[in-house]
Chains A and B, each alone.
Chain A
C-alpha cells in the first residue's frame, strides 16, 4: 500500500466532467468542471467557447429524478440551462460543496393564488348556500306533482341504498299486507281532511332506527325502530302528521332540488380523490343540515291542526318526546336519530308544550287512532 502524503496548503483541486445543455440548442456539450475557490463558483469549460461560472450557492438539483446515478443541475436564476453530471466523484464533491442544492424554487404569484382562491370559495359558497337554495325554492313551486313523485321515488331508492348494511342492495321495505292496510288506513284518516296535491304513500323501512322522514311527492317513510318505540298508535299518527306537514309545505322537494344542484359542485371540488361517492355523501349530509326552524314549526302547527280535525290528541307527540328524552337521560346513550331530528332546532321543550296546548283545539273526546288488531298488524309489518 502506498500512502499519499499531500504537501501544501490546498487540497488537490477538483477536476470533473459533465454535459451542458445550454437551453438554446439541444446539442449536448461536454464540459470539464472545476471549482474556483474565489466566489466560490463552479467553472464549466469548453474548448470551443468561453468558460461559464455557476456560483456554488446558486446550484440547484432537480428533484424526484428516476436515475440516481446522475445529477441534473440548474442555477437559481436561469431556468433553461442544465448541467448533467454522471461521474460519481464529481457528484460527491458537488453534493458536499454546493450549499443549497435542494432549496425549493421561491413561491411566486401568491397574490394571484389568494385572489383566485377567494374567488373560487365565493363562487362555490354563493352557489351552494345562496343561488341553489334560492332557485330550488322557486322551482319547487312550479314542479308538477308527477315530477315530484319521480323525484321522491328516486330519493327513496338512494336512501335505501345508502342505509343497506351490505352496501350493495336496497334496504327492505316492509310489506306485510295487514300492516300495510293498517298504515294506509291511518294515513287516509289524516289526509282526508288535508288538501294535498298528490296521494300520500306511507312506507316502513326495515331499520332499527327511531326516525321518520318525508320525501318529495308525498312519500312518507317511517323506520321500524320508530314504530317499535311508539307505545300507542296515536304517537305514530302524530309523527305521521308532522311529516305530512313537511309534505304540504313541499319542504322535501326543495331539499331534493338543492341536493341535485350542489352534488355536482361538490364533485368538482373533491376531484378524483376517494372516487367521490362516500365523501360526497357525507359532505352532502353535512350541508343539507335539517329543515329550518320555521319549517319545523310550520310542520308542527300543520300536524296539530290535522290531528285535531281527525279527532286525535296532538299531545301524543309530546308523550313520545318526553319518554324518549327520559330514556335517553336514563341510559346516557346518544340521542336516537328521531329525537335528534326533532331536537335539531332547539326549544324541544317549547314544542312539547305547544303540542300539549294544541289539545285544546280538539272538539269532543279523542278517539283511538287504530283499532287494537290494526295496531298489532302495524307493529308486525316487518315480519
Chain B
C-alpha cells in the first residue's frame, strides 16, 4: 500500500440539486415526515462522494431508525418542554412580571440537551460510517460532553471570546479521543495554544468594526459607517479563517497509531464559497420570486402581453378571497423554504465538502493493514434528540 493516500471527490452538483429538490418537495408534501429519508439519502450521496485512497466512504444509516430515535426523543422531551415551559412562564410572569425571563430560562434549560444531542448525533453518524468495509465508532460520553461544553462556553463568554480556541481544542479532543476506526483509536495531540493564531483575523475584524462604529458615533460622521462595507466581509473572512485553520491544525495533530493526516484547506477559498454561495442563493431566490410574479401576472391578465398588470398585482392579490390568499401564502412560503434548502446544499454544503475532502491526505497508510473490524453499535436512539431539538442543520 502507498505511504500517502490522497482523497478524491466525485460528487456532481447537478445530481445533488435534483436529489435535494425532489426530497424537499416530498418532505413538504408529507408534512416533514420524509425528512428521515431525505437525510439518509443525501448523506449516502455526500459520504460516497468522498474517497480517501480511491475508495468511497459509506453511510449505512437507515431512515426508520431515525424515525424511531425521533419518536423516543419526542416521548421524553414533550413532557420536559411542555411542562417546564409552562411552569417557567408562570414563574417568570408572577415573580418578574415579565415573560422574557421565561424564554431565557427555558432556553438555558434546553442547553445541556443540545450538547447532549450533538454528541449523540455524532455517535450515531460515526457508527453508521464505513470506509473500506470497516466501521467508525464513537464511545459513549454524551453527558460528559455536555458538561464540558457548558463549562467551556461559560469561559469563552467570560473572556469575550479569547478562550474560544481553547474550547475548540478541548471539545475536539474529547470527541477525537473517543473515536475509533475499526479497532484503532484516534488521538488528538497538540496544545490548545496552537489554535490561537487562527482567531487573530476575527479579533482584528471585530476591533475594526468596533472602531468604525465608535468613530462614526463620536465624530458624528455618517460616512465613516461605510467602513462596515469592508468590516463585515472581514468578519466573514475571520470566521472562514478560524474554521479552516483550526480544522487544518487539529487534523494534522490527530494520530491513530502510525497513521496521520495532512489537511490543506485554504481560508480564502472557504471565504469565497461563503460569499459567492450566499450571493447565488439570494439571487436565485429573487429570480424565483420574479418568475412567480410573472406567472401570477399572466394568470390575472390571461396572457403576458399586458405586463402592465404587474404594477396592479398587489391590488389584485388583496382582492382575492381569504382562502386563496392563505393557499398562495403557503405555496410561496414552502417554495421559499424548499428553495433555500436545496440551494444551500448546492452552493454551500457541496463546495465546502469538496474543498475539505480534496485537501485531505492520510499518511502512514501501510499501518492500516493491521486494523480490524469493530462490533456494531446499535445506537437505538439514533439522532432523535438532535432531530427534535434541531441540532446540526447542514446535513
Contact = CB atoms under 8 A, between A and B. Distances in A.
Contacts of B330: 278
Nearest to A209: B322
Given A64-B45, A113-B64, A139-B90, A82 B85 contact: no
A116 B86 contact: no
A154 B100 CA distance: 10
A128 B81 CA distance: 11
A131 B79 CA distance: 9
Interface in A118-160: 119-120, 123-124, 127-128, 131-132, 135-136, 139, 142-144, 146-148, 150-151, 154
A265 interface: yes
Contacts of A27: 1, 132, 368-369
Contact of A148 (B32, B62, B93, B371): B93
A26 B28 contact: no
A107 interface: yes
A124 B41 CA distance: 29
B337 interface: yes
B191 interface: no
Interface string B169-180: 000000000000
Interface residues of A, number: 66
Contacts of B364: none
Contact of B93 (A62, A84, A143): A143
Contact of A66 (B31, B56, B65, B87): B56
B170 to A, nearest CB: 29
A82 B82 contact: no
Given A66-B48, A150-B98, A268-B78, A135 B132 contact: no
B131 A26 contact: yes
B226 interface: no
A273 to B, nearest CB: 3
A108 to B, nearest CB: 8
A21 interface: yes
B133 A80 contact: yes
Nearest to B376: A79
B19 interface: yes
Nearest to A258: B86
Chain B at the A interface: SS class: helix
A27 B371 CA distance: 9
B68 A150 contact: no
Given A27-B369, A132-B83, A146-B97, A107 B64 contact: yes
A151 B373 contact: no
B77 A268 contact: yes
A48 to B, nearest CB: 14
A123 B79 contact: yes
A271 B83 contact: no
Contacts of B352: none
Given A26-B133, A66-B49, A143 B393 contact: no
A274 interface: yes
A82 B85 CA distance: 49
Given A63-B44, A154-B99, A264-B85, A271 B390 contact: yes
Given A63-B44, A65-B48, A66-B10, A274 B333 contact: yes
A338 B41 CA distance: 48
B327 to A, nearest CB: 12
A72 interface: yes
Contacts of B106: 264
Contact of B86 (A22, A107, A132): A132
B9 to A, nearest CB: 8
Interface string A90-132: 0000000000000001010100110011011001100110011
Nearest to A333: B321
B45 A113 contact: no
B55 A262 contact: no
B78 A124 contact: yes
B132 A66 contact: no
B10 A67 contact: yes
Contacts of B78: 120, 123-124, 127, 265, 268
17 contacts: A64-B48, A66-B46, A67-B56, A113-B64, A123-B78, A135-B86, A143-B90, A154-B99, A165-B318, A261-B82, A261-B89, A264-B81, A268-B77, A272-B390, A273-B32, A274-B32, A274-B334
Interface of A: 19, 21-28, 62-67, 70, 72, 79-82, 84, 105, 107, 109, 112-113, 116-117, 119-120, 123-124, 127-128, 131-132, 135-136, 139, 142-144, 146-148, 150-151, 154, 165, 257, 260-265, 268-275, 278
Q: Please provide the 8 A-B residue pairs with the shortest distance between their CB atoms, ordered closest to farther.
A: A273-B32, A21-B133, A66-B49, A147-B93, A261-B86, A26-B132, A64-B44, A127-B82
